[in-house]
Homo-oligomer: A and B are copies of this chain.
Amino acid sequence: MNQQAAITSAAQRAIAALFPSDRISADLPDRIAYSRDLWPRTLIGLREGQHRPFEPDTVVWPVSLDELRALIEVSIEHRFALIPFGGGSGVCGGAVAQNGGVIVDLKRLDQITQLCDVNLLADVQAGIIGQTLEDQLNVRGLTLGHFPSSIRCSTLGGWLATRSAGQCSSRYGKIEDMVDSVGFIDGTARYRRVDRANNRQQLEAIIGSEGVFGFITDATMRLAHLPQTRMFLAYRVPSVERGCEALRRILQAGLRPAVLRLYDELDTLLSSPAGDRSPSALSRATHALTHGGAGKALQNRLLSTALRKAGNLSRIGANLADRLRRGCLMIVGVEGDRALAEAEAAYCHEQIICCEGDRLDDEIGISWFENRYGVSFKMSPLFMANAFVDTMEVAAPWHKLMRVYRDVHQALSADALVLAHFSHAYTDGCSIYFTFVSRGSDRTGAQALYDRLWQSALAAADTAGAAVSHHHGIGLAKAEFMKAEHGHGMTTLRALKTVFDPHGIMNPGKLGL
């Protein structure tokens, strides 16, 4: 328990006066449930006996802006922290009560309040779960175009607060490109409507602010029509270098296919669709990538070996890589008007072939699409097996990308099994999404190892010229690194903090503030 500044009983009474009893709780089970998000560090801690790492004093579930404003006023009067909470799927500790305070779960604010098919805009409350929003749009023939793998357990507000990126970001952009305006209640209880057209500077200050300035309560989002056509292509390229070359060529030619993903050798092996429930063509293609038929069995052996023998992971990974037929899986997805999508696919094909790619069966791409959200739900078995897994997304310009890839890989792989994919590419650079699996040598050593891995990986990323976050945000996990990276730029954030949250009640400790 890090709790230092407990709420006074006078404050508790003032909060209790604002909410009916079924929308406020100071019960222990709720305080435990809301004492973490999906930051793996706290999940490791849970195993090590830290059941309430960031215990809040109270949890509330507001249903209106009036309730939020009233809560802020009480918070100012009694000086306690308010922590906006969406789906709780963040992996950086951005939605936890570092020193007590009130968790404000916004999931009851979950309505699409207006939908305009002339402007292709939807007014949406911030607490809506992503998949719920997408489902409701789909029945109208529309889509937001935002598909993070957490879509079933994250909210619109969380996406906006962290500058989220989805799996179709090449075509639809990141979440900040989709937002037309936000409704925002700052730390003085003032509601403002902030527009892209009228007030871009303020909009960009609020997006990505992780709750440190106030509550994003709703947003007007740009939509798209559901695509007429959707096609997937799959390739094997000989190396990440050649695959990245293909990504770069496609982006720099001005194309924006919906999906562009490149997996490194090990991620190719572990992410390949399981052979046992797939049609034979897919199965054959998968096996062609994964050592002539070992497929699922090899995946399982690799993981179980990784779990048994921490400390030797680097050697295990290297041995396995040697035993694998070399090659990296690349998925291309195009969508929209059929003729345009086909022209786009043809152009991508040509570039990938130029980079020594071999076309695989399209069903590999289709299978990727069908299982595209699986990754967010694969963590628990590893944690239960006493290991841990985390992901780290950095970004770098093309000419530094391979150095970042190698250096971060090396920094991690002494003590972890490391895989990576490249899934958000731009004309001038690309992000790298590392996944690393490890475990401490004993029951209590895992958290220390975890910290060491992050320290050395982020230091390697920084030295190699990468930005330390692409779309997971900063939270507590990267706060110190952000300060180092931003340097004097933190003064800007602090000045904005003074304007929006002069009393310092909003989500203290996050973003390095």
Q: Which residues of A contact B (CB under 8 A)?
A: 116, 118-121, 163, 171, 176, 180, 190, 192, 194-195, 197-202, 204-205, 208-209, 222-225, 248, 252-255, 336-337, 339-340, 342-344, 346-347, 395, 397-399, 427-429, 467-468, 470, 485-486, 488-489, 491-493, 495-496, 498-500
Contact = CB atoms under 8 A, between A and B. Distances in A.
Nearest to A396: B197
A221 to B, nearest CB: 9
B336 A488 contact: no
A493 B428 CA distance: 30
B467 A198 contact: yes
A427 B201 contact: no
Nearest to A220: B428
Given A201-B205, A224-B427, 13 more contacts: A163-B200, A180-B428, A198-B486, A200-B204, A201-B209, A202-B489, A204-B204, A204-B205, A222-B427, A339-B347, A340-B344, A492-B500, A495-B498
A312 to B, nearest CB: 35
Contact of A395 (B116, B197, B428, B495): B197
Given A340-B344, A496-B495, A192 B119 contact: no
A223 B492 CA distance: 29
A355 to B, nearest CB: 14
A190 B163 CA distance: 28
Contacts of A176: 200
Given A254-B171, A347-B340, A429-B197, A399 B498 contact: no
Contacts of A225: 252-254
Contacts of A339: 343, 346-347
A201 B194 contact: no
Given A199-B489, A495-B495, A340 B255 contact: yes
B486 A199 contact: yes
Contacts of A209: 201
A26 to B, nearest CB: 35
A489 B223 CA distance: 26
Nearest to A197: B467
A483 to B, nearest CB: 12
Contacts of A205: 201, 204-205, 492
Contacts of A493: 201
A120 B252 contact: yes
A458 B223 CA distance: 29
A116 B399 CA distance: 9
A222 B428 contact: yes
Q: Top 4 A-B pairs ranked by shortest CB distance?
A: A204-B204, A197-B467, A495-B499, A343-B343
- The CB with the most chain B CB atoms within 10 A, among A119, A346, A397, A495, is that of A119
A495 B496 CA distance: 7
A340 B343 contact: yes
Contact of A204 (B201, B395, B489): B201
A174 to B, nearest CB: 10
A428 B467 contact: no
B224 A192 contact: no
A224 to B, nearest CB: 6
A59 B344 CA distance: 52
A144 to B, nearest CB: 12
Contacts of A489: 192, 194, 198-199, 202
Given A120-B252, A429-B119, A202 B343 contact: no
A121 B343 contact: no
A346 B340 CA distance: 9
A165 to B, nearest CB: 12
Contacts of A398: 118-119
Nearest to A117: B252
Contacts of A337: 253-255, 343, 347
A205 B485 CA distance: 18
